[in-house]
Structure 1
């Protein structure tokens, strides 16, 4: 067992190599999993099996007592197996983790083995005791010296993200990908390994068994999974949520005046992990209305007599073992029975890594359970199914009142890019009629056939999002203005729907809606700002610049934050125009000045860059943007030492961008501080892994620092990425290494 400990950390890379070498077929995928598991389990299992006859031999001294001896040993072995399974699952694993549990188990076996050796009455006991003591001491020393597993590697999720790792040509690049984040929380729980990771300075994500189950980037889906059903049922008082995750859905529900929120979470470690997302969920985990029950959601629903106004099922993906039972016709029947009259059931489902047949199966199964339903498309590949026993409608006047009176909801909607709850209409896709047409002829997923449990894993890793969305689109309903024409203008209708389409990733549809809004009201600056943002995202920089110009024409002295953010996507000549217009309006924003200084530096005009920075410094000389740009100016002048001081001050102020670290690397290289230069380039590449120029600079810095083996590895990585990279070949040649 101790000998397998170093192997565990290598299993993800072994899996990726085997997966890359033997293909993507599902039988091979399962075969590789079995082979990798066999690699670490078989030696220990074989040796465990050998202990029973050995113990029988030790304790059975007479043929006349074979039966009683074997029976006694078998009974003790059975009791030990039961006690060991209980202690391992409920004591050692939760308290000490897998690695330390293996070590503890090995120590227990060593102790028992030593006792057996000492107790053996056969001749030569002293010699065996000495040999046993030496062996035990050696193994104890080995166990103490074993390094702890790297949780970043163990949570890399290679079975789920195999295609990502296979695209990298070397193991060193794969390890770099696995180690790019910081692990804030890691817990090997009773049912799953839960971890929280931070990428760069402020991007958090939650993993379950290595698979990302929630992140800041998923805020739209997780918040709308709570907000959409709550705006459809604003008088809901008692709510049940299956799956805690990051807690964002709970926050959305808790923003309303509900009386109780029952969260059914099977893994206790998830509550500890969710606390790391307080920046997004506020104090909802301490809300007295919240009750987290650590239990299986399905079994709890079967057993509880309580009825709910709203039940939200937000489990993990159906291809995770056991999850498909939350998508069966039988479970939906149970959930429907736990709804109060007029209650709603909401089900999250995705279209990535899911075949059209499986997705249609989920929709048809859901439709069989609920007479009234609707389908909503949140983030690009995430859908929400709403089912009820009575008709449900969106009460916009009431929603608008709730929105105006509730600051939490306004904050969340603003973070998602919405200015009004009417934007929720833009996520509506299907009624029962359209869903039935799309899912016609699909199989049913029941407790008896559990089709989804066995078919869903076959699509793991397959790019099915666009396929599923393409098949659905002919059935989608365009959001209608007619039911709301007395509450919202037609121009506002198109503008707010454009906001939701943009958040959803449907950029062409968003652009169309924004154009219709402008066609109806060409004097609203907000419409042009949204259109500029859409066009910039679509890489139509020239058109985005025109729209931004029009917004400035209509509102020259308003808050320019959004336009300045857009300037980062413009060509420098267009950005310069916007910057100068904002400065001429009398704005005290720093970005126009630092932006113009950057543009001047890019053009080689050091004098003009200095002039713009001097004007910026009069506003705030210690702002990170000013310090950083001043550092780049000093570096361009050849004052690398002064540049380093400014860059380090920028870093201390909280800035941690890739461009800052690359500039630091360049300045440290100029001053021949090679180790610091290598460290800076490494940090830059963590933020922008595909930048070849920085990777080459990193290799050269390592070379100059005398770290030849590491430098060789980086040069070989560059040649693996691009076999025609002559500079990398020359680097290897300078190290006197062959390619």
Structure 2
């Protein structure tokens, strides 16, 4: 066969497209396997290890076979074709594995945990071994075919490896940005298989030509300066070094990815861009090495320098991840409105961030292959052995990193371990370098070792508040807070909340923060998944609405723990069993430590069974049946979350329900386009014959409830359940004070949902619309579109679901329901206007909603809060009389709300109506006796009116409730000064300063107290501090001058 340049170019081009297909396969196969095995850390590790083991075995056997063939190109072509055939059959093979996994599944219990890990690995290996082994065999087969001179082996390996990686780079980019989003998984596999068949046919056509000797005997001696592996001892050392290098490479890939998603987000695009940037660097590094390796003599020295450089560059990257969390805030703020621009910037940024370490990693494989292969007769076996060592090392690195190191020492220190491996390999290689003199070794190696130790020892820990800041989602918030203030981004981020908890488990990075309003936030990878106030109502409704609709639920499953609030709501009902699936152990720890008060100690309930694992896998493999399944996935734009909103997932839920069971799905429409949400509704309706849609938060949170039987809203049953005294406070807290409040949250049932989603295509495991579409709307306002679209359907088909047996209830519903639904429409319009900052229109619609249905708890509360906000704005502008009028209206809306009386008292106080203010503060204390602000303000009123003793008593009462209340100590100081108790006044001012060091007025008054008692030095010091804190504070300069003059006279 004439191996002219044209033939070489054709085969190399085909190998480029083989790399393209391999990445496309890898992405689609991992997705398909994840749907059965789950997406837990153990499942992902099992998949990675199976792929690497297959590659290793295939590379080793393929290399050995290649050395015995006269025409290895034909076998290479057949391997490409076989991979294509196998790829078409693989989805069916994955489905066939489910019964085996189900046999070993023990509902996530500890007794079967190890068995399940082994079963996952066995299934992955059985399903993926053949195609991955064939992929592993391709490289040594082609290497054997092309190799003609040992002196040019480095160039050959570098080109083959680099071109294949370039194809993989293109595969990663196109599959993540275009192919899978537009074609889906199945058609993407068909495309890759088709390309494989073309490669197979083309290669077989070339190989059928009249063959020449495939490898020419080399005239030069085998033991060239590059052939360092002349002895078996050296050969084993090279294989060991290759394995360690492969392990460190996988550790870098995992830890860098974990760190970067904290910055750019956990979208599928982020993972695709990260992989693309890394593969591009590897490819360029290999191609660059191909031009240099054969021209160098001491390859051991070059390997040592490469490894030392890699370790050093990796070390220098570690602090960059913390800095990038702040540096990217302006980027997300400026380019968040353009998805294409943001993705382009992210790709460029990731490419340059990963460029140097990837270049060095890419150069190592061809370099070590050149070192290892000793003769042309064993090129295939040598390359296969190198691939085996690299793949097995990568498998060990994946296991160690994902299941041991990150859990034991965290992401940052795991990076340090990988850097240490590279530095150890590099320094060890320098010891063996034949061209490096002893003198140079004795200087360079200890120096490099010492520098490395110093760097390791002085490496500061990441500021966890910064790395968990979530710039990709909160960047615009931080940028807006920075306008007009002198604080930098670091100070702004740290001032927003206190970090209470931070833990990196194998799955995700979990943090808990508390803001200045004492609200708790449970975050994963920097994104809030649960807020103790903002999300509490929705998470409780996820349990209450289906529980009220179901006649008698006994066994309940909740997918996703979060803050545990949904569990707490479900436990209010007389159920027998409650299973909760949570994939992250760190979420469980955070919930148990910080959210017990929020969720009502839900984790202590004996009926609860926590299962750490993938919820979808549980539904796939368990034989348990449930009366109610509640699924509360995180935002759909997060990679993997859309798996819980597909038609196939809904089918799994239906299969695991009892005959009259209900399935409740939380659909978050915030940052989700209308077409995508319709596709979820359509998929849900295709599985469940009877469905209904309910509103938790207008335009933001909706619940899809489905049943295999006709779902009826039994008004009498709901009325009976809501009459339970143990439930009433809980239901009232979420706006369900009466049955009509529940009915008012109804949006549409089966018929309405079918018309609403008409024209949309169903969301499936294959098309994955949400995973690729939702991130495009992450920075866009989509709430208004959902409000407008759903308002048109609100309550339109209530008659088809409502069941009323008594004439009295029927009459009541006939009179009240039309008004209730009309009120909800106005309420939704109000939310839309307020979202667009159209305050007058929003207030008008909200008032209309309240007048139509003044008993609706949700509308009443929202209208009350709007009035309080309007009054606050008036007070801020000094319009206290107008504020008082608005607050009087607010009190009529909610007579039992203490905030209205408190704010009205403040309005009266600032307008000089002290007696009226006193009455309002007393009213607050009737509603809430332990309100420290009411006592504080009542004390201020008494102080203003000259009732010193009463003022002292009220301030003491405030301090009994809240001892660190600086204003109460300050007011006590004033009261004591006015009653000539100077020593006590000094003590109280000191307490005020203790709790609020920048309290300028307290320093000023303390100075006066010191001056009164003749303590001139202390008085001068306090005046100076007051002047420093507030240079515009009246009278402080004059009093300071007086005191300083007295001190001068005394000296």
TM-score class, shorter-chain normalisation, is: 0.7 to 0.9
Tell me how far apart the structure 2 counterparts of residues 527 and 379 of structure 1 sit (CA, whole Å): 12
- Name whichever of 244-253 and 231-240 sits farther off: 231-240
Specify the alignment match of 1:220 in structure 2. Answer: 537
1:39-78 deviation line (CA, Å, top 9, x unaligned): 4322222222233455456667888987766655443333
Change in CA separation of 1:456 and 1:616 when aligned onto 2, cut-off 3 Å:
same
The answer to whether the aligner puts 1:198 opposite 2:514 as a matched pair is yes
Specify the alignment match of 1:733 in structure 2. Answer: none
- Deviation at residue 289 of structure 1 after TM alignment: 2.1
Secondary structure, in 3 states, of the residue corresponding to 2:350? helix
Change in CA separation of 1:494 and 1:512 when aligned onto 2, cut-off 3 Å:
farther
Asked if structure 1 preserves the Cα contact closer than 8 Å seen for 2:581 and 2:611, the reply is yes
1:265 is aligned, of 577, 582, 589, to 582
Secondary structure, in 3 states, of the residue corresponding to 2:694? strand
Tell me how far apart the structure 1 counterparts of residues 962 and 383 of structure 2 sit (CA, whole Å): 76
- Deviation at residue 514 of structure 1 after TM alignment: 4.7
1:444 is aligned, of 762, 775, 794, to 762
Asked if structure 1 preserves the Cα contact closer than 8 Å seen for 2:666 and 2:701, the reply is yes
Specify the alignment match of 2:491 in structure 1. Answer: 176
Change in CA separation of 1:254 and 1:467 when aligned onto 2, cut-off 3 Å:
same
- Deviation at residue 200 of structure 1 after TM alignment: 2.6
The answer to whether the aligner puts 1:536 opposite 2:851 as a matched pair is no
Unaligned runs of 5+ in 1: 521-525, 653-659, 673-696, 705-739
2:1002 is aligned, of 667, 685, 702, to 667
Secondary structure, in 3 states, of the residue corresponding to 1:378? strand
The answer to whether the aligner puts 1:388 opposite 2:723 as a matched pair is no
Secondary structure, in 3 states, of the residue corresponding to 2:659? strand
Asked if structure 1 preserves the Cα contact closer than 8 Å seen for 2:992 and 2:1002, the reply is no
1:185 is aligned, of 490, 501, 505, to 501
Secondary structure, in 3 states, of the residue corresponding to 1:342? strand
Tell me how far apart the structure 2 counterparts of residues 68 and 389 of structure 1 sit (CA, whole Å): 60
Secondary structure, in 3 states, of the residue corresponding to 1:156? coil
The answer to whether the aligner puts 1:433 opposite 2:751 as a matched pair is yes
Kindly indicate which of the two structures has a greater share of residues assigned to helix.
2
- The equivalences for 1:71-220 within 5 A come to 72-122=385-435, 124-125=437-438, 127-167=440-480, 168-169=482-483, 172-179=487-494, 180-200=496-516, 202-216=518-532, 217-220=534-537
- Deviation at residue 615 of structure 1 after TM alignment: 5.8
Unaligned runs of 5+ in 2: 1-313, 832-842, 872-881, 1008-1024, 1033-1051
- Deviation at residue 36 of structure 1 after TM alignment: 3.3
1:684-732 deviation line (CA, Å, top 9, x unaligned): xxxxxxxxxxxxx99964999xxxxxxxxxxxxxxxxxxxxxxxxxxxx
Tell me how far apart the structure 2 counterparts of residues 699 and 322 of structure 1 sit (CA, whole Å): 57
- Deviation at residue 547 of structure 1 after TM alignment: 4.2
Superposed CA RMSD: 4.5
Change in CA separation of 1:392 and 1:575 when aligned onto 2, cut-off 3 Å:
farther
Tell me how far apart the structure 1 counterparts of residues 976 and 823 of structure 2 sit (CA, whole Å): 45
- Deviation at residue 633 of structure 1 after TM alignment: 6.7
Tell me how far apart the structure 2 counterparts of residues 252 and 448 of structure 1 sit (CA, whole Å): 35
Tell me how far apart the structure 2 counterparts of residues 422 and 473 of structure 1 sit (CA, whole Å): 18
Change in CA separation of 1:239 and 1:585 when aligned onto 2, cut-off 3 Å:
closer
Change in CA separation of 1:259 and 1:496 when aligned onto 2, cut-off 3 Å:
farther
Change in CA separation of 1:448 and 1:545 when aligned onto 2, cut-off 3 Å:
closer
Specify the alignment match of 1:366 in structure 2. Answer: 684
The answer to whether the aligner puts 1:356 opposite 2:674 as a matched pair is yes
Asked if structure 1 preserves the Cα contact closer than 8 Å seen for 2:822 and 2:849, the reply is yes
- Name whichever of 473-482 and 345-354 sits farther off: 473-482
- The equivalences for 1:539-618 within 5 A come to 539=871, 541-542=883-884, 544-547=886-889, 561=898, 564-565=901-902, 567=904, 572=910, 577=916, 579-580=918-919, 583=922, 594-598=936-940, 606=944, 608=946, 610=948, 613-614=951-952, 616=954
The size of the alignment, in residue pairs, is 659
- Deviation at residue 149 of structure 1 after TM alignment: 0.8
Change in CA separation of 1:23 and 1:14 when aligned onto 2, cut-off 3 Å:
same
Tell me how far apart the structure 1 counterparts of residues 1028 and 960 of structure 2 sit (CA, whole Å): 33
- Deviation at residue 225 of structure 1 after TM alignment: 0.8
Change in CA separation of 1:145 and 1:643 when aligned onto 2, cut-off 3 Å:
farther
- Deviation at residue 650 of structure 1 after TM alignment: 7.0
Secondary structure, in 3 states, of the residue corresponding to 1:152? helix
- Deviation at residue 17 of structure 1 after TM alignment: 3.0
Change in CA separation of 1:386 and 1:67 when aligned onto 2, cut-off 3 Å:
closer
Secondary structure, in 3 states, of the residue corresponding to 2:328? helix
- Deviation at residue 13 of structure 1 after TM alignment: 2.6
Tell me how far apart the structure 1 counterparts of residues 333 and 630 of structure 2 sit (CA, whole Å): 39
Secondary structure, in 3 states, of the residue corresponding to 2:664? strand
1:336-393 deviation line (CA, Å, top 9, x unaligned): 2221111111111122211222222222222222222222111342111111122334
Change in CA separation of 1:636 and 1:14 when aligned onto 2, cut-off 3 Å:
farther
- Name whichever of 371-380 and 577-586 sits farther off: 577-586
Tell me how far apart the structure 2 counterparts of residues 437 and 157 of structure 1 sit (CA, whole Å): 39
Tell me how far apart the structure 2 counterparts of residues 575 and 560 of structure 1 sit (CA, whole Å): 21
Tell me how far apart the structure 2 counterparts of residues 219 and 255 of structure 1 sit (CA, whole Å): 15
Specify the alignment match of 1:347 in structure 2. Answer: 665
Change in CA separation of 1:641 and 1:508 when aligned onto 2, cut-off 3 Å:
farther
Tell me how far apart the structure 1 counterparts of residues 346 and 486 of structure 2 sit (CA, whole Å): 19
Specify the alignment match of 2:57 in structure 1. Answer: none
Q: What TM-score comes out, normalization by structure 1 length?
A: 0.77
Q: Which has the higher contact order (CA 8 A, sep 6+)?
A: 2
- Name whichever of 643-652 and 30-39 sits farther off: 643-652
Secondary structure, in 3 states, of the residue corresponding to 1:443? coil
Specify the alignment match of 1:477 in structure 2. Answer: 795
Tell me how far apart the structure 2 counterparts of residues 33 and 397 of structure 1 sit (CA, whole Å): 56
Specify the alignment match of 1:722 in structure 2. Answer: none
Change in CA separation of 1:598 and 1:314 when aligned onto 2, cut-off 3 Å:
same
Asked if structure 2 preserves the Cα contact closer than 8 Å seen for 1:156 and 1:178, the reply is yes
- Deviation at residue 413 of structure 1 after TM alignment: 3.4
Change in CA separation of 1:587 and 1:446 when aligned onto 2, cut-off 3 Å:
closer
Specify the alignment match of 1:413 in structure 2. Answer: 731
Tell me how far apart the structure 2 counterparts of residues 36 and 698 of structure 1 sit (CA, whole Å): 48
Specify the alignment match of 1:249 in structure 2. Answer: 566
Tell me how far apart the structure 1 counterparts of residues 862 and 358 of structure 2 sit (CA, whole Å): 62
Specify the alignment match of 1:687 in structure 2. Answer: none
- Deviation at residue 184 of structure 1 after TM alignment: 1.5
- Deviation at residue 15 of structure 1 after TM alignment: 2.3
- Deviation at residue 271 of structure 1 after TM alignment: 0.9
- Deviation at residue 294 of structure 1 after TM alignment: 2.4
Specify the alignment match of 2:349 in structure 1. Answer: 36
- Deviation at residue 128 of structure 1 after TM alignment: 2.0
Tell me how far apart the structure 2 counterparts of residues 527 and 27 of structure 1 sit (CA, whole Å): 40
Asked if structure 2 preserves the Cα contact closer than 8 Å seen for 1:632 and 1:663, the reply is no
1:241-282 deviation line (CA, Å, top 9, x unaligned): 221111111111122121222222222221112112001123
Asked if structure 2 preserves the Cα contact closer than 8 Å seen for 1:14 and 1:36, the reply is no
- Deviation at residue 3 of structure 1 after TM alignment: 0.5
Asked if structure 1 preserves the Cα contact closer than 8 Å seen for 2:679 and 2:763, the reply is yes
Secondary structure, in 3 states, of the residue corresponding to 1:321? coil
Change in CA separation of 1:299 and 1:630 when aligned onto 2, cut-off 3 Å:
closer
Change in CA separation of 1:128 and 1:568 when aligned onto 2, cut-off 3 Å:
farther
Change in CA separation of 1:267 and 1:339 when aligned onto 2, cut-off 3 Å:
same
Change in CA separation of 1:364 and 1:323 when aligned onto 2, cut-off 3 Å:
same
Change in CA separation of 1:527 and 1:236 when aligned onto 2, cut-off 3 Å:
closer
- Deviation at residue 194 of structure 1 after TM alignment: 1.3
